[in-house]
Structure 1
Amino acid sequence: MQFKLLIAFVDDDVTEAVMKEARRAGATGATIINNARGEGIKRQRTFFGMQLETQRDVLLFVVERHLARKVLERIAKIAGFDDESGKGIAIQIDVEDAVGVAHQIERLKGKVEEEL
């Protein structure tokens, strides 16, 4: 089985909804890194010298390659990436090799067959 690494940078208030929808689309879980910070095209607003910015979470998913695009699209929809600038981004990267995923392969076989 081949995998993709999906990396999503989302506002922390949508993390739970993104996780729920990613699971529905075929993700088996994720690693969540809290309190990330980023800056896009538009600089963050300030108030008396303090930056006004929402906290971000970084979600790392190792997803079977046939399910990756569906999961990526669900993340984008739930997080509202296309609704307005600065809502976040998600990317996918090929995974050359992975260990520790053997317990997921049996569960994924049926899901992948449905998708194909």
Structure 2
Amino acid sequence: MHFKLIIAFIEDDVTEKVMKEARMAGATGATIINHARGEGINRQRTFFGLQLESQRDVLLFVVEEHLSRKILERIANVAGFDEEPGKGIAIQIDIEDAVGVAHQVERLKGKIEEEL
């Protein structure tokens, strides 16, 4: 079984919705890093030197490669990436090797067979 790493940079107020949708699409869990900051094409506004930006979360999903695109699209839809600039991004990267995923392999075998 081959895996991909999905990295999603999202507004913190949609983290729970994104997690729910990702699980429904086949993700078995994620690591969440809170209070990330970033900057896109347009710089964030400031008010007396204080930045008026919302906090971001970084979600790291290790997912089976056949499910990765579906999960990526669900994340984009729920987080509203295409609605306006600055909503966030998600990317996927091939994982060459992984350990500690045996429990995922067992759980995903039946789901992958259904998808294929």
Counterparts of 1:14 and 1:113, CA distance in 2:
31
| Superposition deviation, residue 88 in structure 1 | 0.1
Please give the secondary structure, in 1, of the residue aligned with 2:81.
Answer: coil
1:26 aligns with 2:26: yes
- 4+ long deviations beyond 2 Å: none
Determine the structure 2 residue equivalent to 1:16.
16
Counterparts of 2:37 and 2:114, CA distance in 1:
38
Determine the structure 1 residue equivalent to 2:86.
86
Identity between Structure 1 and Structure 2 (%): 83
| Superposition deviation, residue 104 in structure 1 | 1.0
| Superposition deviation, residue 52 in structure 1 | 0.2
- Residue-pair matches, total: 116
Counterparts of 1:48 and 1:96, CA distance in 2:
47
The TM-score with structure 2 as length reference comes to 0.99
Counterparts of 1:113 and 1:73, CA distance in 2:
21
Determine the structure 2 residue equivalent to 1:70.
70
| Superposition deviation, residue 25 in structure 1 | 0.2
Q: Could you list the runs of 5+ residues in structure 2 that have no partner in the other structure? A: none
Q: What root-mean-square deviation, in Å, do the aligned CA atoms of Structure 1 and Structure 2 show?
A: 0.4
Counterparts of 1:113 and 1:21, CA distance in 2:
21
Counterparts of 1:4 and 1:40, CA distance in 2:
25
| Superposition deviation, residue 92 in structure 1 | 0.2
The TM-score with structure 1 as length reference comes to 0.99
